[in-house]
Amino acid sequence: MLYGRLDDLRARTAEQLAKVLKDSSGTPQARTEREAANVMYSQQLAQYNSVENGLCFGRLDFDDETHQHIGRIGIFDEDADYEPLLMDWRAPAARPFYLATAAAPDGVRRRRHIRTSMRKVTAIDDEVLDLDAADPTRHEGLTGEAALLAAVNANRTGRMNDIVQTIQAEQDKIIRSGLNGVLVVQGGPGTGKTAVALHRAAYLMYTYREQLSRRGVLVVGPNATFLRYIGQVLPSLGETGVLLSTVGELFPGVEPSRTEPVHIAEIKGRVGMVDVLKAAVRDRQRVPDEHIEIEFEREILKLDKKTCVQARAVARRSRRVHNKAKPLIVPTILDALARQYAERIGSDPLGGANLLEDADIEEIKRELRESAEVQEAIDWLWPILTPQELLEDLFASPDLLASAAPGFPELERQPGGWTVADAALLDEAAELLGIDDSKAKAAEERRRQEEIDYASGVLDILDLHDEADPEILMATDLIDAGRLAGRHEEVDHRTAAERAADDREWTFGHVIVDEAQELSAMAWRVLMRRCPSRSMTLVGDVAQTGDPAGTTSWDAVLAPYVEDRWRMEHLTVNYRTPSEIMAVAADVLGPDADAPTSVRDSGVDPWHREVADIEAGLPEIIAKEAAEIGDGRLAVIVPDGFGGVTPDVDLESQVSVLTVWQAKGLEFDSVLVVDPSAILDGSPRGANDLYVALTRATQRLGVLHPAELPESLSRLVKA
């Protein structure tokens, strides 16, 4: 019945969309309505198509003999006063599915977990919540344990699956937390941080639809591979209007394509780079050593240093950003040049007062303003700059770099495009420079005036027919030319996420950051600009911080922006990593490690093998391990610089070779960690990197080493 109702909704929506696309009426109002309907029906159809698999995954049977099915979206019976056939998992009425226990059943007699493959039921697991047998002091364990273990033991596919069927109580609390303020979710590997973050995005979009549909939700991930990995989760939950992005992609028009040494990225990530960029901007606000010679009307005028200093001071005192302040230097310069020119051509030959009047001086200023040589001089004194030009010039010039960033000659420009760290600097530079949109505004105003003039002509023609009868309303009595022209303007029907992707100054209703511990101080400035309301969810684990520019303290990250006005939730249960692997990983961080508790054993001991020539022996080892896991996914995690790594990891392949950074947030059935000593020595936070590498596996772990095994891995069994 549920799928029949879904098919009806899908068919009806497709029919409405077809009518909209077929409609060719050309009035401005009809065109606007057609475009709005097109967007609405297209989004609805996309939602219905995305929830096909696993549409209904649970049922609650209540003490009063009623029951309620739980699913990905809400579906109602139009023939029965819109009674809910399927309750959206985000609705308050669905919450007992995740929270009810024998000690606190919330009116639930039985909770049923339904597993499906497309429209076929493959398994049913029932939990009977018997109040009479409940012991309030007993630990209740996992909600839907059978369904949960089936999910965590299933082979990986290269794409992250949602956890909507198996959300646990500690996760549900975080997912449904309020919209306002900064929420930090601290959790070790395998605790479901990413899944919680994505389900929280879906929950917030459902609960605060009107508010967030206008401003949108931004989900930030560590790299493009990770974003592809999670890309299907939100659509499967019925949400297609959330923007997924890395920090480096938040600056429109720039796609970071180059890597750089870790220590350079760390320098660029320091908050002190703000002062470097400010100094770089000030260095481009020039004055001549003595003067600038300008030819005007066959006279050589001298724009002296004192005048230029005065003009610069006026612009700087305004506190306007660089590009917006440029017009303020012009009056001082034109006034000095005009009076200098006037003294030459208007002096009384008998030695009296200047013969030119103020009106003459103003006319000279207008002519000077149009002079190409004057404009060239002004452009040299105060050039209009793009963020890209500012950084390219800074890094390419030893003199500019020495002036703005003394002590950091490493920041010189490298060929091959921009890096992720550069993207944050570009965003900061854009704040300091501002956008010179004067020409664009002037062009838009000209276009707008042309449309108004055209509309006015149309109204004049219409009114000619009505002049003979004063009792008949004229066209201009009903609408003016400005409003008529406005009806012909194109309406932007893109979603908030689509518009936000092209607008650097867009501010989001909520921002979710995964692997948040890895962000540099400059990256945090980018994100805080995108969310002035400070409505944010930050998920991460400071024990996994690998980037030298990252943090080991949430307070250090947030204090500059919200002081102590943030809250923290902890995820403590490891659903991904078997206990045997987790024990090995915990040793890497030492006895003080606060590792999460694994919910299961795999029965397979993690192993190690000494291989003198790993690159030569690796293909055979990979083939053997791939055979062990059948249809599962195998990751070979290698140190930076190891052969076989590509920037674009294909997670659809059975075997992926990737670095620790590329593996952030991912999970695989089996993992081979190559040369752990090189990973430990490859970064100041090498132990954290090795911890991350070891905890990507859901079933099996092997470690290959060319020499002696690090002492921290002594728990591994020799293979």
- Bigger pLDDT: 344 or 218? 218
Neighbours of 430 (CB within 10 A): 21
pLDDT band for position 50 (50/70/90)? confident
Q: Using 50, 70 and 90 to split pLDDT, how confident is the model at 358?
A: confident
Share of residues in the chain with pLDDT > 70 (%): 89
CA distance 450 to 414: 47
Cβ pair 168, 142 in contact under 8 A: yes
**Contact call for residues 434 and 385 (beta carbons, < 8 A):** no
What pLDDT does 643 receive?
A: 83
For residue 399, what pLDDT is reported?
A: 93
Amino acid at 199: H
Amino acid letter for position 92: P
pLDDT value of residue 139: 43
- Phi, psi for residue 75 in degrees, rounded to 5: -130, 135
Whether 471 has a pLDDT exceeding 60, the answer reads: no
Q: What is the pLDDT of residue 519?
A: 98
Instruction: Report d(CA 405, CA 422) in Å as an integer.
Output: 15
Is residue 190 within a helix (H) or strand (E), and if so which, with residue range?
none
The mean predicted confidence, pLDDT, of the chain is 89
Q: Does residue 326 have a pLDDT over 80?
A: yes
Nearest-angstrom CA–CA distance, 513 and 527: 9
- 561 pLDDT band, cuts 50/70/90, is very high
Confidence check: pLDDT of 134 > 50: no
pLDDT band of 44, cuts 50, 70, 90: confident
- pLDDT over 50 (residue 558): yes
Please tell me the pTM assigned to this model.
0.87
CA 640 and chain centroid, separation: 26
Sheet holding 120-128, edge to edge: 75-77, 83-88, 67-71, 56-62, 108-117, 120-128
Question: In this predicted structure, what is the pLDDT of residue 582?
Answer: 96
Mean pLDDT of 12-31: 77
For residue 467, name the pLDDT band (cuts at 50, 70, 90).
Answer: low
Hey, is 122 helix, strand or coil? strand
In this prediction, residues 594-602 reach a mean pLDDT of 92
Which pLDDT band holds residue 1 (cuts at 50, 70, 90)? confident
Closest CA to 674 of 658, 650, 661: 658
CB–CB of 598/634 below 8 Å? no
Rounded CA-CA distance 696/672 in Å is 10
* Cβ 336 vs Cβ 307: under 8 Å: yes
pLDDT of residue 136: 47
- Is the pLDDT confidence value at 489 over 60? no
List, in sequence order, the alpha helices (H) in 405-547.
420-433, 438-464, 475-478, 481-486, 496-501, 521-530
Is the pLDDT score of 190 beyond 90?
yes
* pLDDT, tens digit, 9 for 90 and up, residues 255-276: 998 989 999 999 999 999 999 9
**Residues 650, 713, 148: CA angle, nearest 5 degrees:** 55
Least confident of 137-146, 227-236, 463-472, 519-528: 463-472
- Mean local confidence (pLDDT), 570-588: 96
pLDDT value for 137? 47
Does the pLDDT of residue 293 top 70, yes or no?
Answer: yes
- 536-540 vs 299-304, strand pairing mode: unpaired
Paired sense of beta strands 120-128 and 108-117, if any: antiparallel
Contacts 24+ apart (CB under 8 A), 469-475: none
